[in-house]
Structure 1
């Protein structure tokens, strides 16, 4: 059986109009095309859908059984068509933890305000997780905190982010001017390897501190903030990550002799991935 949407559309229109002549006008088809589609549908079903009463077609019990189901199918087909006409496909975004936890929520809130019904999937991991997801086509777009070296991925600069060295307000580092030696001797609490923050912090710190004391590695920024707040060491994270704690005084920025520490946040996509209009629209919200 090969029932087509066109046959169902003809059936519904004939049912509503009561004749093939009026249905053909509504559908912009010839009367013979409407009659042929209806005859083919009845032939496939093996039943008559209408009783012929003079020049009118009156729906019978078989037609009434089909009518509601045909309407549902046509409505579903219309919804599918509308989705792709408006380029409203589901988006899969993967972001590293700082971006996913501290930047994207505001972006998604603006996007959801304008497009509340559109499907959007977001996953959060470290930068290497995001690169792997984009490389394996498990994500349409990735947003990461460090450079990407994968041969199959295009990386584009996205945002500038400032990194801040900080400690607990009770730290002895605030008792005297901070030098490179005191920074090198302090226990550092850093993100794990594979994190974009860790990669860039290693690069920036090692360029100024050939040696420094790694106190511990933790898997997320929240754990680092709590560890530093309890006096276990000092750290370096995005200003966006500790903005609330700096404002409330539970963490304190260290005034160091180092130059301002900045990094570039990157937007990545697979070289063979076509960026749809829906995806470009979402990226527009990211760039605001």
Structure 2
């Protein structure tokens, strides 16, 4: 829009447009004033100022009545279009707030892929008009997405302290030690230092699971013999099952909570101070207004937790 046109448009007030719309619809300044609960001179002044701003006559006298000029007809059509657009906006906003329609962009760290679809599925069925976009990345990439404000909500274990965030814990995350099913220490109660001679497989640098594991090892003054870093939970599981080493993973990734059970060639070792218990958080930027769909999903999780 040219600057001159924008400046002229900005001089038009809502009161002037209301006075014009009522006068054009009723073809009477007196009736328009009565409908708007203002005096007739007030409406006349608003119409005069509007005409001067536009540089066009909007009404002309026809006997004892008024009628719209050609410019007035064009303005009346424009005002009705504006009213229609505004009504559509209000309707769409109401629909969004009612979660009838809208979009939810959610990002999750890789381990969360084992349960986030189970959270989103019932929500999507309850609100079929909501389009859901899910991105799964490692923690470093998730932190980048948070800093860039790419998503409405984020699911992660370690919200970064350097960003201005709000968060809500909603589920525990138990990190366990897994070994091959035929591991000689499978049926023993172990202390962590008894595993110092084992080959350890770790998630890649930047993984939340690795970060928590390294913090735990440092607190225990334990130095693992790290033989390999792998980029996914599935790669870790296959490598452990193949006998390449032992690892720390979320029990959600192993998908077998019983301590003494084997699953897919894996054994969960009974190690003192394990599982490492952490929380899953729903995270969002504090400095960014939340969408109605994000607020709706947060409320949905709260309702599920309380139910």
Q: TM-score, normalized by length of structure 2?
A: 0.65
Give the Cα separation in 2 of the matches to 1:107 and 1:32: 61
Give the Cα separation in 2 of the matches to 1:194 and 1:204: 16
Q: Which residue of 1 aligns with 2:212?
A: 200
Q: 1:160 aligns with which of 172, 181, 189?
A: 172
CA offset digits 1:150-193 (Å, max 9, x no partner): 3866776553212233456xx43279535567854544332222
Whether 2:30 is the aligned partner of 1:21: answer yes
CA offset digits 1:207-263 (Å, max 9, x no partner): 668243323223333443454566554433223334399999546442423333321
Following superposition, the deviation at residue 67 of structure 1 comes to: 3.3
Q: Which residue of 1 aligns with 2:52?
A: 43
Following superposition, the deviation at residue 124 of structure 1 comes to: 4.9
Task: Could you tell me which runs of 5 or more consecutive residues in structure 2 were left unpaired when the two chains were aligned.
Answer: 1-7
Give the Cα separation in 2 of the matches to 1:121 and 1:44: 47
Whether 2:21 is the aligned partner of 1:12: answer yes
CA offset digits 1:42-66 (Å, max 9, x no partner): 2222223334334443334333333
Give the Cα separation in 1 of the matches to 2:39 and 2:232: 67
Q: Which residue of 2 aligns with 1:262?
A: 277
Give the Cα separation in 2 of the matches to 1:161 and 1:244: 13
Give the Cα separation in 2 of the matches to 1:121 and 1:8: 41
Whether 2:111 is the aligned partner of 1:98: answer yes
| Structure 1 stretch displaced more, 175-184 or 31-40 | 175-184
Q: 1:283 aligns with which of 280, 298, 304?
A: 298
Q: 2:67 aligns with which of 29, 53, 58?
A: 58
Q: 1:107 to 1:45 in 2, by over 3 A?
A: farther
- State how 1:68-147 maps to structure 2 within 5 Å: 68-77=77-86, 95-99=108-112, 101-108=113-120, 124-131=136-143, 134=146, 143-146=155-158
Give the Cα separation in 1 of the matches to 2:108 and 2:233: 14
Task: Could you tell me which runs of 5 or more consecutive residues in structure 1 were left unpaired when the two chains were aligned.
Answer: none
**SS in structure 1 of the partner of residue 255 of structure 2:** helix
Q: Is the 8 A contact 1:160 1:264 kept in 2?
A: yes
Q: Is the 8 A contact 2:201 2:229 kept in 1?
A: yes
Q: Which residue of 1 aligns with 2:3?
A: none
Give the Cα separation in 1 of the matches to 2:17 and 2:162: 50
Give the Cα separation in 2 of the matches to 1:248 and 1:20: 85
Following superposition, the deviation at residue 78 of structure 1 comes to: 5.1
Q: TM-score, normalized by length of structure 1?
A: 0.68
**SS in structure 2 of the partner of residue 58 of structure 1:** strand
Q: 1:239 aligns with which of 240, 251, 264?
A: 251
| Structure 1 stretch displaced more, 133-142 or 11-20 | 133-142
Q: 1:229 to 1:61 in 2, by over 3 A?
A: farther
Q: 1:66 to 1:87 in 2, by over 3 A?
A: same
Q: Is the 8 A contact 2:58 2:71 kept in 1?
A: yes
**SS in structure 2 of the partner of residue 64 of structure 1:** helix
Superposed CA RMSD: 4.6
CA offset digits 1:20-71 (Å, max 9, x no partner): 3333344444433333333222222222333433444333433333334323
